[in-house]
Copies of this chain bind each other. A is one copy, B any other.
Amino acid sequence: MVTRGLGVLIVAAMATACGRTTDRAATSTTPAAVSSSAQPGDGLPSWNDGPARRAILDFVRRVTREGTADFVPPPARIAVFDNDGTLWAEQPIYVQLAFALDRVKALAPQHPEWKQKQPFKGILEGDHNAVAAAGERGLLEIMAVTHTGNTTDEFAKVVSEWLGSAKHPTIGRPYTELVYQPMLEVLTYLRANGFKTFIVSGGGVEFMRPWTERVYGVPPEQVIGSRARVQYEVKDGHPALRRLAAIDLVDDKAGKPVGIHQVIGRRPIAAFGNSDGDFEMLEWTTSAAGPHFGLIVHHTDAAREWAYDRASHIGTLARGLDEAGKRGWTVVDMRQDWKVIYPLQK
């Protein structure tokens, strides 16, 4: 796979390119990876008692108490979650980028010219410097050849197959097992209290939909993400949707409220993120007149996960930290607040 050094370089390019190319994170359709231990009524068993846990519980109690001013009827209980770094690990590189690099290797036999052409040559030869040297333009080429041209059904199949065998480069577990147990419990707890949970990710929507229902309990129609344009076509009587090399939505930063509006059509009352890419989603959600809730997962646990914020190329978190206090957002201290990070290994 990719070394951490190269990963950071590529992701630095990608974080920029992400504004124009398709997306980020990825995943699986493999053996059921995750068991959420939270049952309705349990509260949040993997959370240590503290201000973050109490803020979540208090908010949910407040909006579900009928006959009070803060009561929110179930249809309006919309909660949105970022994916990379909020629901699953995003280090050392976005999963979707790992997918793209592996995909180049898988497609190489059909592209003999790649042996002579950067950045593909570098990927195939494990020459990380060459890949990094190709920069943002090289990254866009990688994304284009690995993410477009096929049909939506074909792409979903490729994603599922890859996630069925790929392993995290340092932890060695399938990516879909590297989801945050405490956040799975939040999802379950909210749904048990009448919330509809949506994912709103900068990552590619078609990269998430094949597995979010199994892993998070979030069905495809509740997943919003960056997306390529697709085109309806009928060949020999068989209709398909073809993925074009053009961006339809960059669901990041100010694009997140736009994606939310396009798909959900009303303002959420709770938003969960981890980086400044989620800032506008949190701002939009917590500017509503009625009750609302915003939460940032702060990666503070270098021992059990990763510790990063302002200086990180992945999941940069600066403005969110600066303004969380005055905006009333809850900041999770991963090291303090979470008893466990990932679900128990099967």
Which residues of A line the B interface, CB within 8 A? Answer: 75, 78, 152, 196, 205-206, 209, 213, 219-223, 227, 230-232, 234, 238-239, 241, 248, 254-255, 257-258, 261-266, 280, 283-284, 287
Contacts and interface: CB of A to CB of B under 8 A. Distances in A.
Contacts of A287: 238-239
8 tightest A-B contacts by CB? A220-B265, A232-B254, A221-B264, A232-B257, A209-B265, A220-B266, A239-B287, A239-B284
A241 B266 CA distance: 11
A199 B199 CA distance: 21
Contact of A283 (B221, B234, B255, B266): B234
Contact of A221 (B230, B248, B266): B266
Nearest to A153: B267
B283 A219 contact: no
Contacts of A232: 254-255, 257-258, 280, 284
A257 B239 CA distance: 10
A73 to B, nearest CB: 11
A258 B238 contact: no
19 contacts: A75-B213, A75-B219, A78-B221, A205-B265, A220-B265, A220-B266, A221-B263, A221-B264, A223-B265, A227-B262, A230-B258, A230-B261, A231-B254, A232-B257, A232-B280, A232-B284, A241-B258, A241-B261, A263-B263
A219 B241 CA distance: 26
A230 B258 CA distance: 7
Nearest to A223: B265
Given A231-B258, A241-B261, 6 more contacts: A206-B265, A221-B221, A221-B222, A232-B254, A239-B284, A239-B287
A19 to B, nearest CB: 14
Nearest to A220: B265
Contacts of A230: 258, 261-262
A266 B219 CA distance: 10
A196 B284 CA distance: 28
Q: Considering residues A231, A238, A241, which has the most beta carbons from chain B within 10 angstroms of its beta carbon?
A: A241
B75 A261 contact: no
Contacts of A264: 220-221
Contacts of A284: 232, 239
A162 to B, nearest CB: 19
A224 to B, nearest CB: 9
Contacts of A255: 232
A252 to B, nearest CB: 12
Nearest to A234: B283
Contacts of A283: 234, 239
Nearest to A241: B261
Contacts of A262: 227, 230, 248, 262-263
Q: Considering residues A78, A196, A263, which has the most beta carbons from chain B within 10 angstroms of its beta carbon?
A: A263
Contacts of A219: 75
Nearest to A219: B75
A227 B238 CA distance: 28
A216 to B, nearest CB: 13
